[in-house]
Structure 1
């Protein structure tokens, strides 16, 4: 998984953290959770606030 795999990352996070409301997740926590995913294989420094926001929004959408 790469940073550009927004929906796949959101689904993986939803599966790992089913009791978390993604609306209240801080970007610092989100970043750490993404880079710790077993399937994640990208340069951690390629992240940006825009990417993290897109992941969070996808997670919120998938959680509904």
Structure 2
């Protein structure tokens, strides 16, 4: 997975963090959790606020 695989990342986060409200996650934790996902392999430097916002929104949509 890469940073641009936003929907796949959101699904994985929903599965790996089932008791977490995505609305209350700060971007530092979100970035760390994404990088810890199995199969995630991308350069941390390729991640920015817009990507994290998109991942957070996709995660919100996934659990809604």
Same fold (TM over 0.5): yes
CA deviations on 1:10-36 (whole Å, 9 max, x unpaired) are 000000000100011000000000011
* TM-score, L = length of structure 1: 0.97
Question: Which residue in 2 is equivalent to 1:12?
Answer: 12
What's the TM-score once normalised by structure 2's chain length?
0.97
Match status 1:2 vs 2:2: yes
Counterpart residue number, 1:43: 43
Q: Which runs of 5+ in 2 are unaligned?
A: none
- Counting matched residue pairs gives 64
Question: Is the partner of 1:7 in helix, strand or coil?
Answer: helix
